[in-house]
Amino acid sequence: MPRYFILETERGDTPRRNRRHIQLVGREPSSPSKIDSSQPKDQQGHCGPSEQDLEQSKSDVPSEPHCSPKPLGQVITRYVRFLKDFLESAEQHFMVGYRVHYYLFTDRPNKVPVVTLGEGRQLTVIKTASSNRWQEISLHRMGMIEKLIEEKLRNKADYIFSLDVDSKFYAHWGAESLGDLVGVLHAWYFRTSRKGFPYERRPESQAFIPIEEGDYYYGGAVIGGRLDKVLKLAKTCRMQLEADRANQIEAAWQEESHLNKYFLYNKPTKLLSPEYLWDDIKWKPSYMKVVRFSQVVKNYAEIRPNP
């Protein structure tokens, strides 16, 4: 199954646009789609963005960002079927004109499809262990990001993005998405009040968020930013996940729950609208002009090793 995919941005002189380098990371989502069919309108306590907020995806675009992309991803057995579309669509839409290096983690290196990459873009495949629980794969995500940054990317890259591989790019994703710490609003909860967010509510968990706290619900399928900021996030979440394991508790939505706890007290400097993380089974509202990246329709019972 495909799980994580990483693109990194390398340091170095970047006098020409095609020498800018970014990194992308993809992964299998940590949970099935969380659907709130009520879709309430704006109200007191509403924690999602306004319609005007969704029009600002191109704001704060850095001029000539100092970066060059390299991707990393993980594919576990049955998820490999999504990898070809992910890579081919990334080549068409993700950081076009930048050097990109894809890092792919998979337990089936021989099943990785051959995809023609553009000039200055490359793919590295890293073998990883299989698991009988998709939750275990999700729980190890933060540790993988932490290890990758410390062992391979430190002093070599500026930015890193972690994305779900069972997804597809549909439109331009460029430098407007860069920031020190980047999060994305969850497609199913961006118009929901905080009481409807699926935060971890058990005080015994390190991911616990009290019912009266919280502002947004962030999707775990997209995490990005500068290496030092993402490293701090990944290390903190990894330590909290280990503390939960020692106490024999697993957060409601694995690493996504811990990500939301981290973002509650360490706000993202760049917040992407749901057009950067949509879901193909969800209707697109009229005020959303474009879907740039979306999770594809899939049968979880078929592709996951356990319920």
Residue type, 32: P
Residue type, 239: M
**Residues 94, 48 contacting (CB under 8 angstroms):** no
The verdict on whether residue 79 carries a ligand-binding annotation is yes
The verdict on whether residue 279 carries a ligand-binding annotation is yes
The verdict on whether residue 186 carries a ligand-binding annotation is yes
Q: How far is CA 223 from the centre of its chain?
A: 4
> Which of the following is catalytic: 10, 250, 256, 275?
256
The verdict on whether residue 172 carries a ligand-binding annotation is no
Annotated catalytic residue 256? yes
For the record, the structure tokens of 178 come out as 């860069």
The verdict on whether residue 66 carries a ligand-binding annotation is no
The verdict on whether residue 265 carries a ligand-binding annotation is no
- List b or e across 84-120, with b for residues whose CB sees 16 or more CB atoms inside 10 angstroms: ebbbbbbbebbbbebbbbbbbbbbbeeebeebebeeb
The verdict on whether residue 300 carries a ligand-binding annotation is no
Which of 1, 2, 6 lies closest to 222 in space, CA to CA? 6
Residues whose CB is less than 8 angstroms from the CB of residue 16 and which lie 6 or more positions away in sequence, other chains included: none
Place of tokens 């701090």: 232
Which of 187, 176, 138, 144 lies closest to 296 in space, CA to CA? 187
Binding-site residue set for Mn(2+): 164, 166
Binding-site residue set: 79, 164-166, 186, 256, 279
Binding-site residue set for UDP-N-acetyl-alpha-D-galactosamine: 79, 164-166
Residues involved in catalysis: 256
